[in-house]
Structure 1
Amino acid sequence: MPELLTTSGNIALTPATFQHRLLEWYDRHGRKTLPWQQDKAPYRVWVSEIMLQQTQVATVIDYYRRFMARFPDVHALAAASQDEVLHLWTGLGYYARGRNLHKAAQILVERYGGEFPVHSLEAMTALPGIGRSTAGAIIAISTGQRGVILDGNVKRVLARLHAVAGWPGKPAVERELWRLAERYTPDERLDDYSQAIMDLGATLCKRGTPSCLFCPFEDVCLAHAQGEERRFPESKPRKVLPERQTIMLLLRNEEGRLLLEQRPGAGIWGGLWCFPQFDDREALSRWIDAKAPGAILEPAWNSFAHTFSHFRLHIVPQPARCKRTGHVSEVDTLWYDSARPANIGLAAPVKQLLNASRPFAAQPSF
């Protein structure tokens, strides 16, 4: 690809010029007081990078602080139970990130003595949940070695700068963006450069309303020159989300506790605690006959929707009361006491329903 041209046709942006402009902007305007920027150890950078995947900085800050207070190093994280980890992840979403973080910590302790293999991109990307961009960020920010990043913010900056057509999820488009990322990544000030290009995308080159007048690349950005900033990067082709339905049984015992079951490790809400779920009323009735005979069903609450990336789930909360609890005291179940909450990972709709159940309302609204 030739050098990027200004609207007047002059060659304007070499890698050195790009780096100089970006770092000059960062020195003046970049964010430098975020909690994970104060001690750039690989562990701290890693946790922040995983949390920041598909999650806004403002949301992550409090989660990060609580997480680091409980798990100050990789050894503490590896020694924890999955429930402890997911409990601190509750509400952050994309729970596979938390499970992978836990698994990777155990591998780092068992295989590397708790040290990160930051001198090997291949070893880093072999760890659960760490892709090429995340590995590059950890390497660059924590060690100052050359690591190339291409997270969502960087994709947006480069796609607009060069008016790269197509959805970045397409292999050909992604390859072009990686080529540009490699081209512009310097050999010096890697930690600042990585923070700077992510910051530019997060604070100025935002998805919906980019602040082009304050951007250090306003005069050379092809998308801006075309007046099509919002076109780039192009969105994923839309598909109609499938609709599914589930009945969640809010079964309360005589002590006022609610029954929860732990989900399997893989799949939706993997490893989290949820209310028993049923595809239909017949399956619910069979379960009650087998495990909670005599349980009294109360009027069902209004359904509400919870949207995943690939389908929309309509949840019908079904409250019930039971006297005989022995049949449901099994492995991977517990009676949840809202007055003394257990440190367990909860799916977001379950947490929502637990909150609505204090006191046990006849018909809350969602």
Structure 2
Amino acid sequence: MTLRVSRLSRLWAMRKPRAAVGSGHRKQAASQEGREKRALSSSQAKPSGPDGCAGTILECPEVSAGLARQPEEVVLQASISPYHLFRATDEVTAFRGKLLSWYDREKRDLPWRRWAENEVDLDRRAYAVWVSEVMLQQTQVATVINYYTRWMQKWPTLQDLASASLEEVNQLWAGLGYYSRGRRLQEGARKVVEELGGHMPCTAETLQQLLPGVGRYTAGAIASIAFGQATGVVDGNVVRVLCRVRAIGADPSNTVISQQLWRLAQQLVDPARPGDFNQAAMELGATVCTPQSPHCSQCPVQSLCRAHQRVEWEQLSASRSLLGSPDVEECAPTTGQCQLCLPTTEPWDRTLGVANFPRKASRRPPREECSATCVLEQPRALGGARILLVQRPKSGLLAGLWEFPSVTLEPSEKHQYKALLQELQSWAGPLPAAHLRRLGEVVHIFSHIKLTYQVYGLTLEGQTPVTTTPPGARWLTREEFHTAAVSTAMKKVFRVYEGQQPGTCKGSKRSQVSTPSSRKKTSRGQQVLDSFFQPLVSTDAPIPNSVAK
């Protein structure tokens, strides 16, 4: 038995009018939906759908595949046991009621929630939700709060953000990580203002198709919270909640499992309060159904949780005082092995409890890279001491941010010193290379890269101050550096430099830094550098011309 509903039936239900966000917004939402349909039609220039209207819901990719996908879906459903599904309407109703009642009592007071609840203009409400959802991607709530507050104070509307410069956006975003998020957010704001008449798309489908950087989750969050569309969302927290409630142990990153989780989310979302329901599911995963040590006794849907039932079953089975097996429901696939169950290669771990669900595949370790970077300072520059920063390329890692002059290290290269010196001189002209000192090492882990920075310092003492720089470089005071659009990694590098200067304090241990005197084991990249830089560290003798050129 499955709960599969035909595609056309689901699509017909989606064509029905949504529940209004508020009594005063029906006309505004309707006119906005009409505008976005016209925008989508003109931007994509797709042929008319089956009902003769371009840009309608019937043109979504699922329907365009037609009946060709149905046999595949039948096979998929046949390999999934009803044990993992919500099979009765009263079960779904109970889940919604318990979760929303708990949310009304326990929800956290967060600035983006206050902003969305108090904002009557739908475009501004959607913008406020959009900013929060983008910032919260891969970032903890506690970190986002201050960034969100500053952002909304500086750019309270789409028009404000659209008129800002990328430099300003990067500067405010500095330290939040995943810097492409801020850039895409501004690109999206400009598109809304310049191409969509300043009005946000109001359905998950058009949000995802019209706005750069907006994926399925973000589109669903904006559509449900800001516009009241009854669409489910699946993020990391919701994945964990759904997997435990329905005892889904398979890897949720698998395409088949992910599709099933989205089906469950869509089935469960409350059409009367879709935004609150989605936020409640995320809140439950963030505060109660946590990755480790979940607080099951505080869970509002514990009575409906199959993971909790499995834990109780395992405890009862382990009790020698029982005669026979406990009478509890188990997974019973109709054909073959159920695709949603725990992998047979990973047996039940009693120490994990409900955290057996889900089992994620081991992540590939980030690739390791090494870079040499130099803090170049003019202590007696006009207006006070200044340090040199250069801008990164407009695309790629940390696009558009500012950093200290750096070169990528390759162990096979034989001219590391020459490469770093040439990089410095390309920005600042002739330099006293003999004063270059190695100060320490900084390790910073990005999402897919473990980057080790070999930190060097060069102070221009007694020289004529450098007053001109080529495009893409600037001299900043220390105060300006701390407010500039620089990455967290560069702030770590600067702490190492400050810690090695007379009259300054040492860098924080939490910065994952080490100095030549404290390091116990040298990395391969550092060993390569040491072979080239050792003469500079131990003596003040000039470098031979054969090396310096």
Matched, 1:139 2:264: no
1:311: Cα distance to partner? Answer: 2.0
One-letter code aligned to 1:23? L
Deviations 1:262-299 (A, max 9, x none): 11122111111111111233311232455432234332
Matched, 1:14 2:91: yes
One-letter code aligned to 1:351? K
One-letter code aligned to 2:227? T
The alignment yields a C-alpha RMSD, in angstroms, of 2.5
SS of 2:400's equivalent?
Answer: coil
Q: 2: distance between equivalents of 1:308 and 1:342? A: 21
Q: 2: distance between equivalents of 1:203 and 1:290? A: 52
Matched, 1:163 2:244: no
One-letter code aligned to 1:321? T
Equivalent in the alignment of 2:470: 330
Q: 2: distance between equivalents of 1:294 and 1:120? A: 56
Q: How does 1:26-105 map to 2 (within 5 A)?
A: 26-31=103-108, 33-40=109-116, 41-105=125-189
Equivalent in the alignment of 1:318: 456
Q: Report sequence identity in percent.
A: 36
Matched, 1:154 2:238: yes
Matched, 1:298 2:436: yes
1:364: Cα distance to partner? Answer: 4.1
> Which one is further off, 333-342 or 64-73?
333-342
TM-score scaled by length of structure 2: 0.62
One-letter code aligned to 2:448? H
SS of 1:75's equivalent?
Answer: helix
1:241/1:5 CA distance change after superposition, 3 Å: closer
One-letter code aligned to 2:455? P
Picking from 270, 275, 287, the partner of 1:191 is: 275
Matched, 1:307 2:445: yes
Q: 2: distance between equivalents of 1:324 and 1:233? A: 63
SS of 1:102's equivalent?
Answer: helix
1:336: Cα distance to partner? Answer: 1.6
1:359/1:242 CA distance change after superposition, 3 Å: closer
Equivalent in the alignment of 1:242: 367
SS of 2:372's equivalent?
Answer: strand
Deviations 1:130-166 (A, max 9, x none): 1111111111111212122111111110111112233
Q: 1: distance between equivalents of 2:260 and 2:367? A: 32
Deviations 1:294-322 (A, max 9, x none): 23433211112101121211111110123
Q: 2: distance between equivalents of 1:85 and 1:288? A: 27
Q: How does 1:165-184 map to 2 (within 5 A)?
A: 165-184=249-268
Confirm or deny: 8 A CA contact 1:86 1:98 kept in the other structure: yes
Rg: which structure is higher? 2
1:69/1:15 CA distance change after superposition, 3 Å: same
Q: 2: distance between equivalents of 1:238 and 1:28? A: 37
Q: 1: distance between equivalents of 2:133 and 2:370? A: 34
Confirm or deny: 8 A CA contact 1:305 1:313 kept in the other structure: yes
Equivalent in the alignment of 2:192: 108
Matched, 1:271 2:400: yes
Deviations 1:38-96 (A, max 9, x none): 13111111111111111111111111101111111111111111111111111111111
Confirm or deny: 8 A CA contact 2:83 2:246 kept in the other structure: no
One-letter code aligned to 2:392? R
1:233/1:285 CA distance change after superposition, 3 Å: same
Equivalent in the alignment of 1:346: 486
Equivalent in the alignment of 2:358: 233
Q: 2: distance between equivalents of 1:324 and 1:239? A: 50
Higher relative contact order (CA closer than 8 Å, sequence separation 6+): 1
1:226/1:3 CA distance change after superposition, 3 Å: closer
SS of 1:318's equivalent?
Answer: strand
Equivalent in the alignment of 2:516: none
Confirm or deny: 8 A CA contact 2:457 2:497 kept in the other structure: no
* Unpaired runs of at least 5, structure 2: 3-81, 117-124, 312-352, 410-415, 508-512, 514-549
SS of 1:339's equivalent?
Answer: helix
Deviations 1:234-274 (A, max 9, x none): 22323233221101111112422111111112211111111
* Unpaired runs of at least 5, structure 1: none
1:149/1:92 CA distance change after superposition, 3 Å: same
1:11/1:303 CA distance change after superposition, 3 Å: same
Q: 2: distance between equivalents of 1:251 and 1:58? A: 34
1:5/1:318 CA distance change after superposition, 3 Å: closer
Q: 1: distance between equivalents of 2:226 and 2:154? A: 21
1:12: Cα distance to partner? Answer: 9.6
Q: 2: distance between equivalents of 1:251 and 1:115? A: 47
1:4: Cα distance to partner? Answer: 5.5
SS of 1:206's equivalent?
Answer: coil
